[in-house]
């Protein structure tokens, strides 16, 4: 099934499959290829409209009976850490940060496998092999970084985030970490550290992927102050999670053709710097 805007790119819709976040639901995605000279501009523009990147594809949930998956980002200027978040930063003082070009390593893959086997053994990525992992890390047509967190004393790799650098922030494409250190709240720590990176770089947002009301897997994102979600064609402060419960109702879903027609594309004539 294909839908085309008057100008490139072309948008496609995936076949329905079981939703990984809400029981008895089916998901489908609206997606387009990320390629060519304007890939950077397209990624910036669509990321600001709730899309996410996976290798050379940009996608956004477009389910027939539900619109619960809401793209989420943290307003760095509005963020204030909680006491537990401050403790998470202190507990991980033993880690050093290193940002590199997007290149996969054996240590990364070993940590990735440990993380999946412990946390997401039945997920869609459970069978990913080393070649597919390398493609996930390395196949990027835009400015991306691998942010590694290692033990300062031993050098052991503890956490990794594949991060895109956007014109208005950092997008945490995929993160994984040592699964046997739950007391360290490593996932929370890595987000907090990315907030520091963005603040130092003068970037206003941290893009976190999707927040889903009613999904325990996504509940942790609501714990960050300054969180915004993309709903109704605009970014809105997520002050009350329950205010978005109606997003699970089928009447909240626009037809595919209408969704595509409302996508704002970057102006190819814009001057590149």
In the prediction, which pLDDT does 104 show? Answer: 97
Question: Is residue 150 domain-shared with residue 185, that is, in the same domain?
Answer: yes
In the prediction, which pLDDT does 247 show? Answer: 59
Separation CA 19–CA 23 (nearest Å): 7
Question: Is residue 79 domain-shared with residue 7, that is, in the same domain?
Answer: no
Question: Is residue 9 domain-shared with residue 97, that is, in the same domain?
Answer: no
Number of domains in the chain: 2
Cis-peptide, bond into residue 113, ω within 30° of zero: no
267 in a structural domain: no
Contacts of 254 (CB under 8 A, 6+ apart): 67, 262
Cβ distance 184 to 190 under 8 Å? no
How far is residue 240 CA from its own chain's centroid?
21
Separation CA 98–CA 102 (nearest Å): 12
Question: Is residue 56 domain-shared with residue 82, that is, in the same domain?
Answer: no
In the prediction, which pLDDT does 25 show? Answer: 84
Residue 97 burial (10 A CB sphere; 0-12, 13-18, 19+): middle
In the prediction, which pLDDT does 191 show? Answer: 98
Residue 184, phi-psi category: left (phi > 0), alpha (psi -120 to 50), beta (remainder) = alpha
173 phi/psi in degrees, rounded to 5: -65, -50
Question: Is residue 101 domain-shared with residue 47, that is, in the same domain?
Answer: no
Question: Is residue 224 domain-shared with residue 107, that is, in the same domain?
Answer: yes
Contacts of 204 (CB under 8 A, 6+ apart): 75, 76, 77, 168, 169, 198
From first to last of the 273 residues of the chain, give the pLDDT tens digit: 554 444 468 999 999 988 888 888 888 999 999 988 889 999 999 999 999 999 999 999 888 888 888 999 999 999 999 999 999 999 999 999 999 999 999 999 999 999 999 876 566 677 889 999 999 999 999 999 999 999 999 999 999 999 999 999 999 999 999 999 999 999 999 999 999 999 999 999 999 999 988 777 777 888 999 999 998 889 999 888 777 765 555 556 777 778 888 888 887 544 433
Q: Please give the residue range of the domain that contains residue 19.
A: 2-72+247-261
Place of tokens 């008895």: 24
In the prediction, which pLDDT does 23 show? Answer: 83
Question: Is residue 62 domain-shared with residue 140, that is, in the same domain?
Answer: no
Question: Is residue 95 domain-shared with residue 217, that is, in the same domain?
Answer: yes
Question: Is residue 172 domain-shared with residue 199, that is, in the same domain?
Answer: yes
Question: Is residue 50 domain-shared with residue 171, that is, in the same domain?
Answer: no
Question: Is residue 51 domain-shared with residue 135, that is, in the same domain?
Answer: no
Separation CA 259–CA 266 (nearest Å): 16
In the prediction, which pLDDT does 6 show? Answer: 41
Question: Is residue 86 domain-shared with residue 63, that is, in the same domain?
Answer: no
């Amino acid at each position: 099934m294909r839908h085309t805007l008057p100008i490139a790119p072309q948008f496609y819709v995936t076949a329905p499959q079981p939703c990984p976040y809400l029981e008895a639901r089916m998901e489908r995605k609206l997606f387009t290829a990320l390629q060519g000279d304007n890939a950077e501009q397209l990624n910036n523009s669509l990321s600001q409209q709730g899309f996410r990147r996976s290798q050379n594809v940009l996608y956004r949930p477009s389910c027939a009976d539900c619109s619960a998956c809401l793209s989420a980002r943290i307003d760095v200027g509005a963020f204030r850490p909680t006491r537990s978040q401050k403790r998470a930063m202190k507990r991980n003082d033993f880690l050093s940060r290193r940002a590199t070009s997007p290149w996969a390593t054996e240590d990364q893959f070993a940590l990735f496998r440990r993380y999946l086997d412990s946390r997401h053994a039945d997920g869609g990525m459970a069978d990913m092999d080393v070649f597919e992992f390398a493609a996930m890390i390395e196949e990027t047509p835009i400015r991306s970084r691998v942010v590694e967190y290692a033990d300062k004393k031993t050098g052991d790799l503890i956490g990794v985030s594949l991060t895109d650098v956007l014109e208005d922030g950092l997008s945490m494409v995929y993160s994984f970490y040592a699964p046997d250190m739950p007391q360290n709240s490593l996932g929370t720590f890595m987000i907090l550290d990315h907030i520091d990176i963005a603040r130092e770089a003068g970037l206003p947002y941290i893009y976190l992927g999707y927040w889903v009301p009613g999904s325990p897997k996504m509940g942790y994102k609501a714990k960050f102050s300054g969180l915004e979600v993309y709903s109704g064609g605009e970014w809105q402060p997520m002050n009350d999670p329950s205010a978005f419960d109606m997003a699970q109702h089928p009447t909240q879903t626009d037809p595919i053709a209408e969704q595509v027609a409302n996508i704002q594309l970057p102006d190819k004539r814009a001057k590149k710097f």
